[in-house]
Amino acid sequence: MAFKSLVASDSVARYVNEEMLREPDVQKRLRAETAGIPHGGMQISSDQGALLSLLVKLIGAKKAIEIGTFTGYSALCVALALPADGKLIACDISEEWTAIGRRYWREAGVAGKIDLRLAPALKTVETLLLQGGAGTFDFAFIDADKEAYDAYYEGVLKLLRPGGLIAMDNVLGSGPNSESADYDPATSKMHALNLKIRDDARVDAMIATVGAGFMLVRKR
């Protein structure tokens, strides 16, 4: 399986992602199945999944939203970390991709925690805001079409409570295949949004160079 790491050598990435992770078997199998399908490279790395799980537990998140579910690996990581009465709203437009995830969510016993919304994510966010969802979410993960990242960021920030956390993938890249060693972040489509977040008085943020680069944003 290929590793997506911006800073680590292959051997270090392998050590971090495989040898040092206590990854549940169901997660491992979902990751393996996804790696074998077209666009499988869009999947987050296992250390990114572990970080999502840890963050959810660290902030005691109960209510989470995910923008871009793909085949459900990140949703599985988040849902397994949520308490029994926790809820994850998972946003995607692909019935085909999310159907893979559903199988593993059921097997892992977390299907009841995941509310999959098959619709454009901005519509779902808009609906949640209209239903009084502003300030009620603890955690958000954004990993979808990069052109809309700024809009996702703004929408999700409204949904978060103060102290809530956003993790955003691929902030050093411009697409799913941008994780190369000679990549120049300053030329990234993400650069303008990264600068905006750096100077955004509403949040505390930093880029963790895990996997393809996570922007971690805490709402003030």
Q: Which two tokens stand for residue 13?
A: 């990435």
Candidate segments 86-94, 112-120, 166-174, 194-202, binder of Ca ion by CB under 5 A: 166-174
The single-letter code of the amino acid at 29 is R
Q: Which is nearer to Ca ion, 98 or 170 (CB)?
A: 170
Residue 170 binding Ca ion, by CB under 5 A: yes
Cβ atoms of residues 167 and 51 within 8 Å: yes
Q: Which is nearer to Ca ion, 92 or 143 (CB)?
A: 143
Candidate segments 21-29, 155-163, 165-173, 179-187, binder of Ca ion by CB under 5 A: 165-173
Q: Which is nearer to Ca ion, 47 or 143 (CB)?
A: 143
Candidate segments 19-27, 30-38, 133-141, 169-177, binder of Ca ion by CB under 5 A: 169-177
Residue list 133-152, contact with Ca ion (CB under 5 A): 143
Within the chain, strands assigned E span 63-67, 87-92, 114-118, 137-142, 160-168, 203-208, 214-219
Residue 66 binding Ca ion, by CB under 5 A: no
**Cα angle: 35, vertex 30, 55; to 5 degrees:** 105
Give the nearest distance from C-beta 39 to Ca ion in angstroms: 11
Q: List C-alpha distances in Å: 132 to 3, 67, 113, 161, 199.
A: 40, 19, 20, 12, 28
Ramachandran quadrant class, 132 (left: phi over 0; alpha: psi -120 to 50; beta: rest): left
Candidate segments 15-23, 53-61, 111-119, 161-169, binder of Ca ion by CB under 5 A: 161-169
Q: Which is nearer to Ca ion, 16 or 212 (CB)?
A: 212
Give the nearest distance from C-beta 194 to Ca ion in angstroms: 15
Q: How far apart, in whole angstroms, are the C-alpha atoms of residue 145 and residue 68?
A: 8
Q: Is 73 helix (H, G, I), strand (E, B) or coil?
A: helix
Residue number closest to Ca ion, CB atom = 169
Q: How far apart, in whole angstroms, are the C-alpha atoms of residue 105 and residue 115?
A: 11
**Which of 66, 138, 169, 179 contacts Ca ion by CB under 5 A?**
169
Give the nearest distance from C-beta 211 to Ca ion in angstroms: 8
Give the nearest distance from C-beta 118 to Ca ion in angstroms: 19
Question: What residues line the site for Ca ion (CB under 5 A)?
Answer: 143, 169-170
